[in-house]
Structure 1
Amino acid sequence: MREEMPLERPLLPVPGPRRVLADFGGPYAASALVAFLFSCTGPVAIILAIGAQGGLSESDIASWIFSAFCFNTLISIAFTLVYRQPLIFLWSIPGAVLVGPALSHLTFAEVIGAFLACGLLMLVLGLTGWVRRAMAAVPMPIVMAMVAGVFLRFGVGLVHAFGDELWIALSMTITFVVLSTLPRLGKVIPPLIAAVIVGGLAIWAFGKFKPPAGALFALAAPNFYVPQFSWNAMVELVVPLA
């Protein structure tokens, strides 16, 4: 007989503001700040790089980042309150990486349509329990090889960075390696965050920060897109994303 996995029911009633404030504390705020800084550095840098590679405008990239943070935050807060568990919803980094090559021959609206179709497919797989059988059917080494292939060019990019900006890349690499090998220091500040800070200071020290003319900071004005569903986008993106 096939093992059934019942859906987890929400815990009601939802805690009120007083309960939330009573459970809030300094250590939790510090952990949240570290997680926020992590999500604002590496993952956002990937979106910026992919958007530039795909020829998206600044407003498109800003809208992408705004949507990713805004809607994921609202969903995370809602599910955390309802299920009383730390459930965080964020975008898939390998999925974002796949967007870059796709934008070379697909429109942004077609990519959005493929992501919506992928979300619907994942919902069906989760509700029916097929996701367990699908994961069991695909060998884990193949899955890891696909993920490694997606991130390969970022690893190769580290080598190119030493040729383009030696001292900036070297300072960031040394910082990351030192903090990674010293667990006590790594607990004080995550190696990735420290490397980003050192890299920013190095960019400023070597005069590499040359912002464009105009305002550097402004409120994001989200763009609205009408998704397009095409077979080319479905075949190329839906299965790898799922």
Structure 2
Amino acid sequence: MLQPIIAGVIGALTGFASSFALVIAGLIAVGASPAEAASGLLILCIAQALLAGLLSWRFRLPLSFAWSTPGAAVLVAAQGVTDDYGAAIGAFLVCGVLLTITGLWPALGRAMTRIPMPIAGAMLAGILVPICIAPVTALIEQPVLSAPVIVVWLVLLRFAARWAVPAAMVVAIVGIIITGADAVAEAPLAPVLALPPPAFDAAVIISLGVPLFIVTMAGQNVPGFAVLSTLGYRDVPARAILASSGAATVLAAPFGGFALNLAAITAALMGGPDAHPDPSRRFIAPIAGGVTYIVLGLAAGAATALVTAAPPILIIAVAGLALFSALASGLVAAFEPPETRVVAAVTLLVVASGVVVAGIGSAFWGLVAGSIVMLVTHRRSPRPAASPEKKGEPS
């Protein structure tokens, strides 16, 4: 019993420490106040804990959930598209509805998992490129704070890769406390759920809600199903997972919960042999991880105070270190087929440009541009993205 509990706690600590700063930075980028950002982090922790606990217990499978890390990167990249947090919440709600429909409507689920990989991978990579450049910028602008962070990350990447990003975040936190102790001490540390009124702006929904939905599906849910399949779980209830995570997103969105999805990296920690030699006992790990997430969520106020007290470039730099592997995966998926490399290049460059046209952000225009180039240059679609059905999961 102790082994899966330990695995769940480690998985939750790793997942939280690796990307909580990106979540806060993303929410602030689309207009949230520090208190509203803390609310968003808290509700995401609670919602994914409930999802993991209820579904893992119901199906006796190690089903771990997470906030959408690529989705948080979409929020950071959308800075300048809107500073109306109510409109951002409206986009979160639309994303949740689309995720729910994907689970309830098999045809949409199949369509989403068949987005050509050159376009999906390039779209994800284009969103991540500006964030992954941040460590270089931080090293020039904030060398005293950023150099120790990068050195610790690099050393642990060699000897204990799993802990590289959490350890880098710890070093960053120490530096922030030393340089900004007064600001941290004066901030309210206890998070409170905030409920700002949502607004539905078509431009924000198209430039934020739709890309958030696409990268959550292509960048998190599909890899999550693939990880479970690799671990030997062939009969995963895909429709229940998608519909439940979508419904949870709808419920969490008014409080700042932008997107919830099946976990990928922490799924490997909580669903593999390290969690328990007996696969039938591994479902305990996500439940323990969920309890840990709730405890960590209660520290959302302190986490937000740290992030807001830090130089913004330092927080984005740590997030960039955490997203290097996701960037690499997106680039490999985008440029692997030689016949569609121009399609991938066009998509990536348009998304990475950050251009805003008619109030709609670059993620959407990159998707449009890549689709047009593919339609013009290719009669037949390239190899589609792997779907849960192809991996052995029911639809």
2:1 is the counterpart of 1:31: no
Aligned 1:187-198 pairs, distance under 5 A: 190-198=163-171
Change (3 A) 1:224 1:179: same
SS in structure 1 at match of 2:165: helix
**Structure with the higher fraction of residues in helix conformation:** 2
Per the normalisation by structure 1, the TM-score is: 0.76
Q: Deviations over 1:62-90 (max 9, x none)?
A: 11111111122112211111111121222
Preserved contact between residue 106 and residue 233 of structure 1 (Cα < 8 Å):
no
Q: What code does the residue aligned with 2:119 have?
A: I
Aligned 1:215-230 pairs, distance under 5 A: 215-216=186-187, 218-230=189-201
- Residue 101 of structure 2 is matched in structure 1 by 124
Preserved contact between residue 153 and residue 164 of structure 2 (Cα < 8 Å):
yes
Which shifted more, 221-230 or 70-79?
Answer: 221-230
Find the aligned partners of 1:163 and 1:83 in 2 and give their Cα distance: 50
- Residue 89 of structure 1 is matched in structure 2 by 65
2:204 is the counterpart of 1:233: yes
Q: Deviations over 1:66-123 (max 9, x none)?
A: 1111122112211111111121222212222223426642522222222222222222
Preserved contact between residue 30 and residue 82 of structure 2 (Cα < 8 Å):
no
- Residue 34 of structure 2 is matched in structure 1 by 58
2:46 is the counterpart of 1:73: no
Q: Deviations over 1:163-190 (max 9, x none)?
A: 12224322222222222223xx44xx61
Q: Deviations over 1:187-241 (max 9, x none)?
A: xx6111222223334555xx42333275556332111233222322222223212
Preserved contact between residue 102 and residue 111 of structure 1 (Cα < 8 Å):
no
- Superposition deviation, residue 125 in structure 1: 2.1
Change (3 A) 1:220 1:201: closer
Q: What code does the residue aligned with 2:105 have?
A: T
The count of aligned residue pairs is: 211
- Residue 17 of structure 1 is matched in structure 2 by none
Which shifted more, 96-105 or 60-69?
Answer: 96-105
Aligned 1:87-236 pairs, distance under 5 A: 87-100=63-76, 101=78, 104-105=81-82, 107-130=84-107, 131-136=109-114, 138-182=115-159, 185-186=160-161, 190-203=163-176, 207-212=178-183, 215-216=186-187, 218-236=189-207
- Superposition deviation, residue 45 in structure 1: 0.3
SS in structure 2 at match of 1:176: helix
- Superposition deviation, residue 140 in structure 1: 0.8
Unaligned runs of 5+ in 2: 214-395
Find the aligned partners of 2:18 and 2:205 in 1 and give their Cα distance: 27
Find the aligned partners of 1:102 and 1:35 in 2 and give their Cα distance: 30
Find the aligned partners of 2:185 and 2:151 in 1 and give their Cα distance: 35
Preserved contact between residue 113 and residue 228 of structure 1 (Cα < 8 Å):
yes
Structure with the greater alpha carbon radius of gyration: 1
Preserved contact between residue 44 and residue 67 of structure 2 (Cα < 8 Å):
yes
Q: What code does the residue aligned with 1:140 have?
A: M
Preserved contact between residue 149 and residue 172 of structure 2 (Cα < 8 Å):
yes
Q: What code does the residue aligned with 1:219 have?
A: A
Preserved contact between residue 109 and residue 226 of structure 1 (Cα < 8 Å):
yes
SS in structure 1 at match of 2:195: coil
Q: What code does the residue aligned with 1:193 have?
A: P
Q: What code does the residue aligned with 1:210 have?
A: A
Find the aligned partners of 2:31 and 2:201 in 1 and give their Cα distance: 20
Aligned-residue RMSD, C-alpha? 2.4
Find the aligned partners of 2:121 and 2:144 in 1 and give their Cα distance: 32
Change (3 A) 1:40 1:133: closer
SS in structure 2 at match of 1:229: coil
Preserved contact between residue 87 and residue 200 of structure 2 (Cα < 8 Å):
yes
